[in-house]
């Protein structure tokens, strides 16, 4: 059903040509590239990885009409200074991470294209899509997808923003071989995401933050707890904290704060050892070595103080 919803919401036809360089195995690639191909025969031109310098020529040669991308791809186009796109390319879609509003404004001004935000998850398929030509401030992610009900679950302590709850015929029924908090996210025939947001009076959904600690690295989700466990299992590390911090090219990057029991331990050595147990995108991009973690008045690790510390003192591989 998710593929059918995407085709309907985005107006993708059999005559379109999708240009794809996002992973076909991820829900974004499955829904936007594979399912239109299987459902109605929409052609797909594939490139193994994104190359901003080659992009215009690739689109021109393939006569692509639709490009589902992620924010860092459009940011790379902006950095390259693109000023035009082939006339065939009518639809640009951005998903998998929040895009910088400045990049959306740049695309409108220099490429004469709107970057249409698409919001979804592996558990729910597409949630919302911005089909308008308006560049709003702040940016919204549009309205609910076809046959999808999106509501806001506001806690007793919140004023208007709450966790986004999704129900519909594309929502999964649960995780395989999972328990605890993971199971608790599926209830009442739907799924509660880790995102916070609200609707305006026009029914547009605005994302305002995260209730979940997951780090979004170029569209791939990283659980900080998993990385922390891998780090503290390494010889020479007595404690670790892991956070996501903004990245100009990847949305977020994984940053590790390390308390060493062996002062000779280097970022390179840590990264090499992490590679034996963690996928490449989960390995911290930056390491900050500290003698001890700062704590707040309640005695808990002061996350804000660590973020400030990361901006001042960084040991980079």
CATH classification of the domain holding 252 = 3.30.300.30
Provide φ and ψ at 229, rounded to 5°.
-60, -40
Q: Of the candidates 111, 138, 267, which has an alpha carbon nearest to the alpha carbon of residue 207?
A: 138
Residue 183, burial from CB neighbour count under 10 angstroms (0-12, 13-18, 19+): exposed
How much is the pLDDT for 260? 94
**Contact by Cβ (8 Å): 65, 91:** yes
Domain termination residue (choose one: 187, 210, 233) = 210
Question: Which residues does 118 contact at the CB level (< 8 Å), separation at least 6?
Answer: 10, 28, 32, 68, 93, 94, 95, 126, 128, 129, 130, 141, 142
In this predicted structure, what is the pLDDT of residue 140? Answer: 96
CB contact set of 161 (below 8 Å; sequence gap of 6+): 152, 154, 196, 197, 198, 208, 209
Q: Are residues 206 and 283 in the same domain?
A: no
Number of structural domains the chain divides into? 2
Provide the pairing of β-strand 205-210 with 215-217: unpaired
Specify the pLDDT at position 168: 96
One domain, residues 69 and 156: yes
Q: Which domain holds residue 271?
A: 215-316
The DSSP code for 255 is E
Q: Do 6 and 62 fall into the same domain?
A: yes
φ, ψ of residue 160 to 5 degrees: the values are -135, -35
pTM of the predicted model as reported, rounded to 2 decimal places: 0.75
Same domain (yes/no): 204, 235: no
pLDDT of residue 30: 95
Do residue 65 and residue 182 come from a single domain? Answer: yes
Taking only the tens of pLDDT, the chain with its 317 residues reads: 889 999 999 999 999 999 999 999 889 999 999 999 999 999 999 999 999 999 999 999 999 999 999 988 999 999 999 999 999 999 999 998 888 899 999 999 999 999 999 999 989 999 999 999 999 989 999 999 999 999 999 865 455 689 999 999 999 999 887 666 666 789 999 999 988 899 999 999 999 877 777 888 877 888 888 999 999 999 999 889 998 888 777 778 899 999 999 999 999 999 999 999 999 999 999 999 999 888 766 566 787 888 888 877 655 54
């Amino acid at each position: 059903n998710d593929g059918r919803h995407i085709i309907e919401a985005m107006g993708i036809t059999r005559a379109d040509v999708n240009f794809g360089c996002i992973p076909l195995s991820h829900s974004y690639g499955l829904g936007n590239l594979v399912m239109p191909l299987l459902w109605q025969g929409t052609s797909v031109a594939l490139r193994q990885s994104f190359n901003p310098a080659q992009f215009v020529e690739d689109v021109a040669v393939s006569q692509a009409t639709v490009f589902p991308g992620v924010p860092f791809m459009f940011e790379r186009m902006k950095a390259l200074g693109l000023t035009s796109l082939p006339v065939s390319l009518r639809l640009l879609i951005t998903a998998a991470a929040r895009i910088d509003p400045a990049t959306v404004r740049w695309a409108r001004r220099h490429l004469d294209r709107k970057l249409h935000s698409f919001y979804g998850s592996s558990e729910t398929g597409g949630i919302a899509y911005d089909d308008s030509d308006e560049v709003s401030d702040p940016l919204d992610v549009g309205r609910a997808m076809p046959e999808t009900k999106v509501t806001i679950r506001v806690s007793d302590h919140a004023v208007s923003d709450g966790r986004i709850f999704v129900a519909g015929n594309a929502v999964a029924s649960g995780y395989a071989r999972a328990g605890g908090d993971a199971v608790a996210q599926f209830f009442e025939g739907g799924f509660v995401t880790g995102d916070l947001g609200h609707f305006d009076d026009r029914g547009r959904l605005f994302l305002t933050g995260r209730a979940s600690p997951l780090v979004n690295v170029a569209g791939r989700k990283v659980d900080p707890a998993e990385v922390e466990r891998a780090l503290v299992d390494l010889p020479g590390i007595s404690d670790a904290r892991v956070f996501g911090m903004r990245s100009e090219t990847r949305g977020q990057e994984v940053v590790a704060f390390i308390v060493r029991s062996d002062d000779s331990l280097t970022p390179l050595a840590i990264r090499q050892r992490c590679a034996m147990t963690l996928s490449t995108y989960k390995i911290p991009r930056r390491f900050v070595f500290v003698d001890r973690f700062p704590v707040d008045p309640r005695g808990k690790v002061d996350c804000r103080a660590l973020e400030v510390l990361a901006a001042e003192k960084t040991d980079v591989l």
